[in-house]
Amino acid sequence: MINNSQKLNTKLFDKKVEQVPIRSGFGDGLVIAGEKNPQVVGLCADLTESTKMNLFADKFPKRFVEIGVAEQNLAGVASGMSAMGKIPFISSYAMFSPGRNWEQIRTTICYNDRPVVIAGSHAGVSVGPDGGTHQAIEDIAITRVIPNMIVFSPCDHIEARKVTIASATLGKPVYIRLAREKTPVMTTDETPFEVGGAQLFYGEEMKKADVGIIATGALVYRALQVAETLKKENISAKVLNIATIKPLDVSGVTEIAKTCGAIVTVEEHQIAGGMGSAVAEALSQNFPVPIEFIGVHDKFGQSGTQDELLEHYGMSETEILNACKKVITRKV
């Protein structure tokens, strides 16, 4: 059952659950961050509206720089501005930033340990009709591998707002992974959020369960649905939400492994190098248990609807459900 201490949306499992794009939370959060700190500035590479940075640009036009379609310059200019005391937020599609400008992010931002926040919108195959060129499913891997970088992957627009506000205060390079589509609102303003802390959305702390699902981003919602389905089949599950992929909440991840003895990771990303890999790295050293990975199996995306693509690439609720049952049979 839903973990009440997380103060989640009470209408979470209603058919008409409210749906809002995750990127909207970034737009709202950036305005709040800008109000709190005059050093916060915004830079965008010709995608100001689609990344929701237009809210900031409208409110603080003198603190906004339109860079044009030039993501490499976007990263370098932000690094330079941070050297002068600014806290730059840069936005584009995840495929282009941190995709195209990865080396500039590594060298000018992370190697210099500059407090630049990289917001990558339209991540995952759910972008849909645009096709594989625009579906970033490698971005977690390429950001979490860079020293000094903090990596966030919020599950809904409220969490995205909290992540964005927090990012302006960390004094470190940050990557925020955002999705374009409307996403069910799971959390509330009261849901506790902590940088580097995983949250148990489903199940009871310290209690045993049959399987632990560790999920990130919009797919957390599908993980919760699966937990409900499993309950009807008398299989108990926990769902751990990972909003901070790096630094990973190793103790939270270890705890769910200890109490469940089997783990399924769920993310809209390549299995190689993603959140599931980070979980596996942590568990193999701390508390090895069987793991099944839900994610993209070394393939590029293509055009289609969100549901068609999630099903085709193995990230549907059925796939998550089957993975849960399979991993339980693997328990020693």
Partner 1 sequence: MISNVTDEKIKFLEEKAKDIRISIIEMLVAAGSGHSAGPLGMADIFATLYFFILRHDPKNPSWKERDRLILSNGHINPVLYATMAHAGYFPVKELLTLRKFKSRLQGHPHREFLPMLETSSGPLGSGLSQAVGMAIADRMDFGKTSDRFFYCLMSDGELDEGQSWEAVLLAGKEKLGNLIVIVDRNNIQIDGYTENIMPLEPLSHKFESFGFHVEEIDGHNFSEIIGAIGRAQAVFDGPSVIIARTIPGKGVSFMERDYKWHGSPPGTEMKGEPPKDEQAKIALHELRTLGGQIKSEHE
Residues annotated catalytic, as ranges: 71
Choice from 19, 46, 80, 181 touching partner 1 (CB under 8 A): 80
Strand partners of residue 53: none
User: Residue 303's Cα: distance from chain center in Å?
Assistant: 22
State yes or no: residue 79 binds partner 1 (CB under 8 A): yes
Q: How far is the CB of 282 from partner 1 (least distance, A)?
A: 26
Write out the two tokens for 198: 């995983």
108 counts as binding partner 1 under rule CB under 8 A? yes
Q: Rule CB under 8 A: is residue 78 a binding residue for partner 1? A: yes
Piece in contact with partner 1 (CB under 8 A), picked from 9-17, 71-79, 294-302, 314-322: 71-79
Asked if 231 and 259 touch (Cβ cutoff 8 Å), the reply is no
**Strand, coil or helix: what is 246?**
strand
Q: At 114, give phi and psi (nearest 5°).
A: -95, 145
Is residue 84 within the footprint of partner 1 (CB under 8 A)? yes
Provide, rounded to whole angstroms, the least separation between the CB of residue 82 and partner 1. Answer: 8
Using CB under 8 A as the binding rule, whether residue 67 contacts partner 1 is answered as yes
Q: How, if at all, do strands 117-121 and 150-152 pair?
A: unpaired
Contact 57, 81 (CB under 8 A): no
Among 17, 20, 65, 272, binds partner 1 (CB under 8 A): 65
Instruction: Quote the CA–CA distance of 166 and 243 in Å, as a whole number.
Output: 12
- Helices and strands, number each (H, E), in the chain: 11, 14
Q: Which one of 67-75, 163-171, 203-211, 222-230 is the stretch in contact with partner 1 (CB under 8 A)?
A: 67-75
C-alpha to C-alpha distances, 249 to 76, 133, 221, 244, 245, nearest whole angstrom: 31, 32, 20, 8, 8
Task: Give buried/exposed letters for 270-288 (b at 16+ CB in 10 A, else e).
Answer: bbebbbbbbbbebbeeebe
Instruction: Report the distance separating Cα 208 and Cα 266, nearest Å.
Output: 20
Q: Position 219: which residue type?
A: L
Residues 6 or more apart whose CB falls under 8 angstroms from that of 322 comprise none
Which member of 70, 254, 304, 326 binds partner 1 (CB under 8 A)?
Answer: 70
* Residue 76 found at the interface with partner 1 (CB under 8 A): yes
Smallest distance from the beta carbon of 44 to partner 1, in angstroms? Answer: 13
Please select the residue that binds partner 1; options are 4, 16, 61, 85, rule is CB under 8 A.
85
Name the minimum Å distance from CB 107 to partner 1: 5
Nearest distance, CB of residue 79 and partner 1, angstroms: 5
104 forms part of the interface with partner 1 (CB under 8 A)? yes
150 binds partner 1 (CB under 8 A): no
For partner 1, the closer CB: 148 or 236: 148
Query: Would you state the structure tokens that stand for residue 119, as one six-digit string?
Result: 């917001």
Cis check: omega of the bond before 98, within 30 degrees of 0 = yes
Using CB under 8 A, pick the residue from 35, 49, 58, 113 that binds partner 1.
113
Q: Is 140 in the site for partner 1 (CB under 8 A)?
A: no
State yes or no: residue 112 binds partner 1 (CB under 8 A). yes
Stretch that binds partner 1, among 59-67, 216-224, 283-291, 317-325 (CB under 8 A): 59-67
Side-chain half-sphere exposure of 310, counting CA atoms within 13 A: 18
41 near partner 1 (CB under 8 A): yes
Site of interaction with partner 1 (CB under 8 A):
41, 62-63, 65, 67-68, 70, 72-73, 75-86, 88, 103-104, 107-108, 111-113
